[in-house]
A = this chain, B = another copy of it.
Amino acid sequence: MTQFPVITSPRNEKIRAAVKLRRRKHRGRRGRTLVDGARELIRAVGSGIRVEEIYFCPSLCSTTESRRLLAQLDELEMSIYEVTEGVFEKLSYGERTEGFVGVAIPPEVELDDLVLPENPLVAVVEGIEKPGNLGAILRSADGAGISAVILADQKTDLFNPNVIRASLGTVFTMPVCAAPSKEVFNWLKVQGFQIIGAVVDAVACYTIMDYKIPTALVLGTEATGISSVWKDVNAVRIPMQGVADSLNVAASAAVLFYESQRQRLSKQQTSQPSRTTAPVVVPQPDWGNGNS
């Protein structure tokens, strides 16, 4: 491996500038963010995100991903610095980061830039505050094959280092953008989306909807739900059988995303009869799907 310049002082100017990016004010001002973790950096670079600087501490690179990234450093065209454990501790700010922190330029994507597949299924997350919840939602969206995640009326920045971390870097691989709720609503309408909003006291159970057509799933905050912008959309509730009146927003998202996926995969199966013993014209599921 090439010898990279070594930084041994936590007071180094570059280190101090990078650490400042833990604060939103500095991220906004400089149009940069921090990416903690090797897996996250690999996903950022692989998705064409411009990573400007990488700091690594060899003695902390113990995971498979961090060793993989170590082996690839020679091929990367960016500023790369080896740092001591003391410097790394200052940089990583208590994050579990497997010896890697990078400085990246988050992409600025507009609604109209979103590249969507045929028959898209998008998630709209409105007013969410906790980066950990937003990250978990992105990770579930990635798993469930959601086409895009749109942050409406954002309260946390999409590329907050804690969002990046909790999303395992899927915030880079997933089509994402942020816009005001009203704008998102109008855009979805123009695009012809069915809009389904999760509402605690809605009459319709989420399972009766048909998610096999172009659909937007709208999730609000735990405290106040979705805003009045969405007052005329299809409201669904997730049944609550215990004492609490709602799920954690990331849990609600996972349930809706995977119910959509379940319905869509079942549709795929019916169009590929050779892969299943079910008849080509399949009977309606017993709990209904909104078309029955």
Contact = CB atoms under 8 A, between A and B. Distances in A.
Nearest to A268: B287
Interface in A154-175: 166, 168-170, 173-174
A142 B242 contact: yes
A213 interface: no
A31 interface: no
Contact of A145 (B145, B205, B242, B292): B242
A259 B262 contact: yes
A278 B286 contact: yes
Contacts of A132: 132
Interface stretch (A70-78, A179-187, A191-199, A250-258): A250-258
A143 B262 contact: no
Given A251-B136, A285-B266, A242 B278 contact: no
Given A43-B243, A259-B258, A248 B285 contact: no
A240 interface: yes
B287 A170 contact: no
A238 interface: yes
A270 interface: yes
A145 B262 contact: no
B285 A258 contact: no
Size range of the chain A interface in the assembly: 35 or more
B251 A278 contact: no
A266 B239 contact: no
A53 B95 CA distance: 36
A12 interface: no
Interface of A: 43, 132, 136, 139-145, 166, 168-170, 173-174, 205, 207, 238-244, 246-248, 250-255, 258-259, 261-262, 265-266, 269-270, 276-278, 282-288, 292
Given A239-B261, A251-B254, A285-B285, 10 more contacts: A136-B248, A136-B251, A143-B239, A174-B242, A207-B262, A238-B258, A269-B286, A269-B287, A285-B286, A285-B287
